């Protein structure tokens, strides 16, 4: 674990943990937790940390039967797992699974988890500075490969990375852009696109929906010695 106020050169994009779903891969999650505790990596919770199966209120009616933990137990599990690492958590973003509960009850279980841990709850999206790089992070909204990325590009300038989740894909690529400055000079820039992975292994709903299987695990942002931003897929 790094010392307080020390600069971490790795950022774990902890997306789509789906704690409480029968297909949640706790063994793999524990490996990442152990790694983060050892390295002192920064952590960003990217939404859908809790599966939040409900029996009413959304198109996911009946998903409760694919859960082996109640929403309260999922909050308890999440807070128990991440409490030892809470000083490393930059913030918690909401996801569509937690939004299920908020739309029915007005109570967001990830907001409650953030309050219990004493870490920032960032809601739908956040732009933040990490190792002098400007990062946009959100859970994401669509399953189309580039739609969400393009929406962010149309809305914001000056980003170094766009980090999303939602699709369970674990991948990254970069986009080249020219940046014009007031004095007329132009510099070349690359923006990283990251889909941050998941911890849900071959869930029943995915098989019924004929979804292609995805790699499990997380994307990890890296700040390299040459001051460039990189991405590692998996530990």
pLDDT tens digits for range 12-24: 999 999 999 999 9
User: 67: closest CA among 15, 135, 110, 18?
Assistant: 18
d(CA 62, CA 54): 6
Domains and CATH numbers, the chain: 10-233 (3.60.21.10)
Neighbours of 141 (CB within 10 A): 13
Q: Compute the mean pLDDT over every residue in the chain, rounded to the nearest whole number.
A: 92
Tens of pLDDT along 91-117? 999 999 999 889 888 999 999 999 999
Check: CB of residue 168 under 8 Å from CB of residue 13: no
Residue 48: per-residue pLDDT: 96
Check: CB of residue 217 under 8 Å from CB of residue 200: no
Residue 224 backbone class (left: φ over 0; alpha: ψ -120 to 50; beta: rest): beta
pLDDT at 62 over 70: no
pTM (predicted TM-score): 0.94
Q: Which pairing describes strands 10-14 and 42-45: parallel, antiparallel, or unpaired?
A: parallel
* Dihedral angle, C-alpha 142, 79, 111, 70, nearest 10 °: 70
């Amino acid at each position: 674990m790094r010392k307080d106020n020390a600069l971490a050169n790795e950022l774990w994009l902890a997306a789509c943990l789906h704690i409480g779903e029968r297909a949640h891969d706790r063994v793999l999650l524990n490996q990442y937790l152990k790694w983060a505790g050892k390295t002192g990596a920064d952590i960003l919770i990217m939404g859908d940390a809790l599966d939040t199966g409900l029996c009413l209120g959304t198109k996911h009616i009946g998903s409760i039967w694919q859960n082996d933990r109640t929403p309260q137990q999922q909050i308890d599990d999440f807070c128990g797992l991440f409490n030892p690492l809470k000083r490393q958590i930059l913030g918690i973003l909401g996801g569509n699974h937690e939004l299920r509960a908020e739309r029915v009850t007005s109570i967001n279980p990830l907001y409650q988890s953030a309050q219990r841990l004493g870490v920032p709850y960032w809601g739908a999206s956040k732009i933040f500075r990490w190792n002098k790089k400007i990062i946009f992070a959100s859970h994401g909204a669509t399953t189309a490969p580039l739609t969400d990325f393009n929406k962010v590009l149309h809305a914001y300038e000056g980003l170094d990375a766009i980090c999303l989740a939602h699709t369970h894909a674990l991948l990254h690529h970069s986009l080249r852009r020219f940046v014009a400055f007031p004095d007329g000079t132009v510099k070349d820039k690359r923006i990283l696109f990251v889909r941050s992975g998941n911890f849900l292994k071959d869930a029943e709903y995915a098989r019924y929906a004929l979804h292609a299987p995805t790699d499990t695990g997380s994307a990890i942002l890296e700040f390299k010695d040459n001051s460039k931003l990189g991405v590692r897929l998996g530990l």
